[in-house]
Amino acid sequence: MNESLVLRRDDGSVRVLVLNDPERRNPLSDPMAAALAEALDAAERDEGVRAVVITGAGPAFSAGADLDFLRRVRSETAEANLAHSRRLRDLFLRVYTFPKPTLAAVNGPAVAGGAGLATACDLVVMDEEARIGYTEVKIGFVAALVGVLLVRAVGEKHARELLLTGDLVDAQTAYRMGLASRVVAAGTSVDEAVAWAERIAANAPSSLALTKELLASFYGMGLEDALRYAAAAGAWIRQSEDLEEGLSAFFEKRRPRF
C-alpha cells in the first residue's frame, strides 16, 4: 500500500486526508483509491477522529481519470474493466456511508471521478475559483457511478444538465444547484472545512452516525417503510449513552462530554 498517495494529519478531532499525486492532478487511480480506502478505515477505527475532510494536494482536488488507465482501457478485458468499476464503486460507497461526517474541501478542479468523490461526501466546501464537472460524455464514457450520487445530491433536472453537457461549472453555480454546500475565498477551503467539521464533530457521535444511516436509507423507501424505520431508530437512540450524557448536560446547563 502506497500511503504517500494519501497524506494524513489531525486538526483536533478532524482527520484531514490529502490526495497526494499533484503532478498528475490527483487522479483516482487504483493505488489512490486503495490508499484512500485504507485511510478511511484507519479514521473509522480511531476514536479520537470525529470527522474527516478530504482535499487534494497542489492546484487540483482530483482530475478523476488516471491517464495510464485511459491509454489502456480499450485493450482491457471486460472482466478487468468490471473489476476497475467495482473498485471505484466500493470507494464511493465507503465515503457515502462512512459513519463519521465527511467534508470535501474542493481546492481546485474536481472532474469526473474526482467530482464523484466530492459528491459522495456529506458536505462540499468549494474555493470560489474552483470548478466541478462530470465530463465523461465528452470522451465517450458514461458517468454511471457518479450519476447515482449526483441525482441524490441535486435532483434529476440538475443532474441531467451536468451529465448531458459534461460542462465544468463554477463554485457559485454548484452552490445554486445544491452541489456545493458553501463557497469560500480562494485558498481557504481546507481551513473552512476543518472549522465546520469541528463544529459538527462536537455533536453526539451516535446521533451523527444514525442520522447518516437514515439519510442513506430513506431515498429508496416508500413513505410508510421510511416512517417505520425512523420510528425504530428514534426508539433505539433513546437508549444510547450519548443521549444520557446529552440530557444530563442540558439539565445541568453545561456542554455535553461526548
Catalytic site residues? 136
Question: In angstroms, rounded to a whole number, what is the distance separating the alpha carbons of residues 185 and 89?
Answer: 32
Angle of helix 156-165 versus helix 144-154 axis, rounded to 10: 140
Query: DSSP letters along 120-173, please?
Result: HSSEEEEETT-EEE--GGGGT---HHHHHHHHHHH-HHHHHHHHHH--EEEHHH
Nearby residues of 184 by Cβ (< 8 Å), 6 or more positions away: 125, 126, 127, 128, 192
CB proximity list for 125: less than 8 A, separation 6 or greater: 103, 104, 105, 106, 180, 181, 182, 184, 189, 192, 193, 196
Other beta carbons within 10 Å of 98 = 20
β-pairing, 102-106 vs 51-56, is parallel
Rounded CA-CA distance 249/87 in Å is: 44
Grid cell locating 126: 468549494
Alpha-carbon gap, residue 229 to 235, rounded angstroms? 10
Q: For residues 54 and 77, give the distance between their C-alpha atoms in angstroms, rounded to a whole number.
A: 32
Instruction: State whether residue 185 is helix, strand or coil.
Output: coil
Paired with 170 in beta bridges are 131
